[in-house]
């Protein structure tokens, strides 16, 4: 096998085994491996981990050793036995109590997104999301499918809480939002992005606008409502009156919907927006030619299997914003997962 052929084959195997790596990560999170090791007073051997998790000795040892190879855990030998502890990566991102934890995001990916991705080929053939096949539920009303139970609604909100905990501040700093004293976060869920916003712009007030079930859950399970600068307003942004504001934020909203529904929503925003105000769209932007970055392309396929929408290029967002009346449309890349598009009224 020549060098190039060998490299190509290794790359192919890496791609083919990618789902196994994801499942190791998801399984370790779901079983509570990282929490257990974080709480332990010293590194634990596989028998101790197995006993405390109630998992099989053989399966536990295999999972732990694979996590070591993936640099999620570190191992040492004591008394002739391997003992395990979290790496810095795991302590930072995979333990629930960490301020930068992404555990809930990973659990949502493993329990929901991964199940839909099993039907990617069907999604490509049919051009629509796969909730009917994945979960045997209708998806004509998209968020009735996404929020198909109280547990699933909470899981989705926790997913976004993790995302904005890590990336909210940087994307909100892409443009100076301080001239907007009243901001409305449409589809703002738990209020995680609103908290990042008032932390970055302390003189701003933020209205989180979302459907009643989400607002009730935000007040029951999350703490953003305790900040007097943040208020919650119930409604459907496609149908109900929108609160007047200086700036509307659409964070991971437009990528859920068709161009037609995006245009309808943006027109409603334009009418409600105060003169001199605007809209901030927060999404993962495709390159101008639509063929990168890879992460955003994968997210766009995720929109295919889970929603009605797609990720878009800066030009495609401009083409949505301008007909609604927004002018001086600017795009800013943050260097992170999510970027910012600002349009003014």
Same structural domain for residues 111 and 88?
no
Please list, in sequence order, all residues whose beta carbon lies within 8 angstroms of the beta carbon of residue 252, skipping any fewer than 6 positions away: 160, 163, 187, 282, 283, 338
Angle of the 192-200 helix axis to the 150-172 helix axis, nearest 10: 20
Same structural domain for residues 175 and 241?
yes
Same structural domain for residues 87 and 129?
no
Same structural domain for residues 300 and 174?
yes
Q: How confident is the model at residue 6 (pLDDT cuts 50, 70, 90)?
A: confident
Instruction: Report DSSP state, residue 79.
Output: T
What tokens does 336 get? 């992170």
Q: What is the pLDDT of residues 29-39, one digit of tens each?
A: 999 999 999 99
Task: Quote the number of domains for the chain.
Answer: 2
pLDDT of residue 216: 96
| Residue 237 · residue 268 · CB < 8 Å | yes
Same structural domain for residues 88 and 122?
no
Q: What is the pLDDT of residues 158-176, one digit of tens each?
A: 999 999 999 999 999 999 9
Q: How confident is the model at residue 4 (pLDDT cuts 50, 70, 90)?
A: confident
- Is residue 183 in some structural domain? yes
Full strand arrangement of the beta sheet holding 73-78: 44-45, 81-86, 73-78
Same structural domain for residues 51 and 137?
no
CATH number at residue 270: 3.40.50.150
Q: Three-state SS for 114? A: helix
Q: What percent of the chain has pLDDT over 70?
A: 99
Q: Can you give the residue range of the structural domain that contains 7?
A: 2-92
Residue 5 has pLDDT above 80, yes or no: no
Residue 1 has pLDDT above 70, yes or no: no
Given the residues 119, 221, 233, 255, select the one marked as catalytic.
255
Strands 205-210 and 182-186: parallel
Q: What is the pLDDT of residues 236-259, one digit of tens each?
A: 999 999 999 999 999 999 999 999
Q: How far apart are CA 246 and CA 203, in angstroms?
A: 13
Same structural domain for residues 250 and 191?
yes
Instruction: Report DSSP state, residue 112.
Output: I
CATH number at residue 16: 1.10.10.10
Q: Three-state SS for 283? A: strand
Task: Give the residue from 92, 124, 157 where a domain finishes.
Answer: 92
Known catalytic residue at 255: yes
pTM comes to 0.94
Q: What is the pLDDT of residues 192-230, one digit of tens each?
A: 999 999 999 999 999 999 999 999 999 999 999 899 999
pLDDT of residue 225: 86
- Is residue 282 in some structural domain? yes
- Is residue 102 in some structural domain? no
Same structural domain for residues 197 and 241?
yes
Q: What is the pLDDT of residues 131-155, one digit of tens each?
A: 999 999 999 899 999 999 999 999 9
Quick one: average pLDDT of 87-100? 96
Same structural domain for residues 142 and 187?
yes
- Is residue 101 in some structural domain? no
- Is residue 259 in some structural domain? yes
């Amino acid at each position: 096998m020549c060098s190039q052929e060998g490299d190509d084959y290794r790359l192919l195997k890496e791609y083919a085994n990618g789902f196994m790596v994801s499942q190791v990560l998801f399984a370790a999170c779901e079983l509570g491996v990282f929490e257990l090791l974080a709480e332990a007073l010293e590194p634990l051997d596989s028998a101790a981990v197995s006993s405390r998790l109630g998992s099989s000795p053989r399966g536990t040892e295999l999972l732990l050793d694979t996590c070591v190879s993936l640099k999620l855990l570190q191992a040492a030998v004591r008394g002739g036995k391997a003992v395990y502890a979290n790496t810095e990566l795991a302590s930072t991102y995979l333990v629930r109590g960490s301020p930068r934890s992404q555990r809930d995001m990973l659990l949502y990916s493993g329990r929901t997104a991964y199940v839909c991705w099993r039907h990617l080929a069907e999604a490509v053939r049919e051009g629509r999301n796969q909730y009917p096949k994945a979960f045997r539920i209708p998806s004509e009303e998209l968020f009735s499918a996404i929020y198909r139970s109280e547990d699933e609604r909470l899981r989705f909100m926790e997913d976004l809480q993790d995302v904005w905990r890590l990336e909210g501040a940087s994307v909100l700093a892409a443009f100076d939002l301080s001239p907007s004293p009243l901001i409305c976060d449409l589809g703002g869920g738990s209020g995680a992005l609103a908290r990042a916003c008032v932390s970055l712009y302390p003189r701003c007030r933020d209205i989180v606008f979302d459907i009643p079930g989400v607002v009730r859950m935000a007040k029951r399970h999350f703490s953003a409502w305790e900040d007097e600068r943040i208020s919650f307003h119930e409604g459907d942004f496609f149908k109900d009156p929108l609160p007047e504001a200086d700036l509307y934020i659409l964070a991971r909203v437009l990528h859920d919907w068709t161009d037609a529904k995006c245009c309808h929503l943006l027109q409603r925003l334009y009418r409600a927006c105060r003169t001199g105000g605007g809209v901030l769209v927060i999404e993962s932007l495709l390159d101008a030619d639509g063929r990168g970055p890879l992460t955003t392309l994968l997210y766009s396929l995720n929109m295919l299997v889970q929603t009605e929408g797609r990720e878009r290029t800066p030009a495609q967002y401009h083409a949505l914003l301008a007909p609604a009346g927004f002018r001086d449309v600017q795009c800013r890349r943050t260097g992170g997962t999510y970027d910012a598009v600002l349009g003014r009224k």
